[in-house]
Amino acid sequence: MATATAKRRSAAKKPAAAKRAKPAARKRTGAAPKKGAVKQAAQALPPAKSSKKPLSGLAALAARKAVKAVVRRAARSGAQALRSAADRTAVTGRAAVESALSKRLPIQVSVDVAVPLPVAWEEWMGASSMTEGIHRIEDVERDGDHLTGTVAGPRSTAWEADIVDERQHESFAWRSTAGSDCAGLVTFHRLSDRLTRIEVDLDVLPTNPAQAVSMSLHLAHRHADAELRRFKAHAEFINPDVYEPQLSQNGGEPESED
């Protein structure tokens, strides 16, 4: 019985083994082609044609003309934008100059000088130069209530002014009548026995576009401030031993040169 049963099991296994063997046989029959054959077949194929066709002469010429037209339009639009910006700037600049020429522009500067008030007054009144912001007046001379001088610069011109008001040790005012258009006021303020504040107020009317630009850029203001600081350096350079004896002898006032 055992022998018969073993035989039936081996007989049953044989068809399954045969069935498994068949697919392997089919795989072996479909053998892959050799590498050399593939290479030869690829060489035998005609070369692939490019999908991009070269432009003809007329098409290339038309393309160049189109590019040039675009560039010209861009250049024209850029030039128009620049001209418009320049025109707006010019209009704004002319308006600013005309506005500056049509009204007086005040200049106010001050400085503290470490000298007694009478000394500051005498040095200011005896100075041969003065400032009007835009101009520096040199060679100033006084004849009664009239002042004469020269406007400093490459093209120096004669300058004249009238003294409007004068209060000793307090204030001095003038109004130019030739060479410039300016009204000025200088005031003196005692801060202590050896400290005086000098304030300068200038009412300037520009007479040409260059002066208007100088006023709008605050150059005239800086010129006036620089002149005032030069006076400060000059007054403080005086040795106190020179004016203190005179102040004590004259009741607090320096001896006049006249």
pLDDT digits (tens, 9 = 90+) for 206-240: 777 777 777 777 788 888 999 999 999 999 999 88
Compute the distance between CA of residue 130 and CA of residue 172 in angstroms, rounded to an integer: 12
pTM: 0.57
CATH number at residue 169: 3.30.530.20
Show the beta-strand stretches assigned E in the chain: 105-113, 130-131, 136-143, 146-151, 157-167, 171-178, 182-192, 195-204
Instruction: Tell me how far apart the alpha carbons of residues 232 and 226 are, in angstroms, rounded to a whole number.
Output: 10
- Residue 258: band (very low, low, confident or very high) from pLDDT cuts 50, 70, 90: very low
Residue 232: inside a domain: yes
Question: Rounded distance, CA 98 to CA 8, Å?
Answer: 127
**CA-based torsion, 142, 168, 170, 104: positive or negative:** negative
Q: Is residue 123 assigned to a domain?
A: yes
Residue 168 pLDDT greater than 50, yes or no: yes
SS3 147: strand
Q: Determine, yes or no, domain membership for 148.
A: yes
Task: Express each pLDDT in 3-62 by its tens digit.
Answer: 555 555 555 555 544 445 454 445 444 555 555 555 565 555 555 555 555 556 677 777
> Does a structural domain hold residue 121?
yes
Count the domains in the chain. Answer: 1
Q: Which domain holds residue 179?
A: 105-249
- Per-residue model confidence as pLDDT tens digits over 98-152: 554 455 668 999 999 999 999 999 999 999 999 988 888 999 999 999 999 999 8
In a domain, 68, yes or no: no
Residue 62 in any domain: the answer is no
Residue 134 lies in a domain: yes
| Mean pLDDT on 58-75 | 74
The predicted structure's pLDDT at residue 198: 97
At residue 104, the pLDDT reads 61
- Report if residue 129 sits inside a domain: yes
